């Protein structure tokens, strides 16, 4: 078996474990995140991807966190978003995604995955947890995206050429 296929299958299994743990317990084992980071980091490195992508993606996350912190301060009069709005595992998962995409693909994935995660909100009343399992839901979508990337050669998670050609 090709080593890259082994890495891809391993990534998909780890993403499935993240989904299951987050759905059931609203927390994910740190060891799973470490394993995911090693696999995704190897994948990123093996594709000879530009390391500035990580900085650009991290800047986008920092901007998002700044908005969340401002909202938390404005709405709740406190800055600790990890109590009311957001889980630490969600932030760690976003850190994993830094090495999963080129900048345009990252922003598109981020927006779509957050929007689709809102579809889970009506089901919270049927859950024993009062929160959205964001890392778990995003991990499922990321697994689907990885699958599509491997099935269709026209998709490249580490290239923004598709989005750039759409610009006027």
pLDDT digits (tens, 9 = 90+) for 92-134: 999 999 999 999 999 999 999 999 999 988 888 887 888 889 9
Q: Given CA atoms 59, 60, 66, 72 in this order, what sign does their dihedral have?
A: negative
Phi and psi at residue 32, in whole multiples of 5°? -70, -40
pLDDT of residue 82 exceeding 80 = no
The pLDDT value given to residue 62: 96
Q: What is the pLDDT of residues 54-63, one digit of tens each?
A: 999 999 999 9
Q: How confident is the model at residue 137 (pLDDT cuts 50, 70, 90)?
A: very high
Kindly report whether the global pTM for this prediction surpasses the value 0.85. yes
């Amino acid at each position: 078996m090709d080593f890259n296929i082994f890495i891809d299958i391993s990534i998909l299994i780890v993403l499935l474990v993240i989904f299951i743990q987050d759905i059931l317990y609203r927390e994910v084992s740190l060891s799973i995140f470490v394993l995911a980071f090693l696999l995704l980091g190897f994948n990123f490195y093996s594709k000879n991807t530009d390391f500035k992508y990580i900085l650009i993606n991290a800047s986008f996350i920092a901007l998002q966190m700044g908005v969340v912190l401002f909202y938390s301060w404005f709405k709740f009069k406190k800055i600790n978003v990890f109590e009311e709005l957001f889980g630490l595992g969600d932030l760690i998962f976003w850190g994993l995604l830094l090495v999963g995409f080129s900048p345009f693909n990252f922003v598109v994935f981020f927006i779509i995955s957050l929007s689709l995660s809102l579809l889970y909100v009506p089901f919270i009343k049927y859950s024993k947890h009062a929160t959205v399992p964001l890392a778990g839901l995003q991990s499922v979508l990321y697994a689907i995206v990885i699958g599509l990337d491997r099935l269709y050669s026209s998709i490249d998670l580490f290239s923004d050429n598709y989005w750039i050609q759409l610009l006027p």
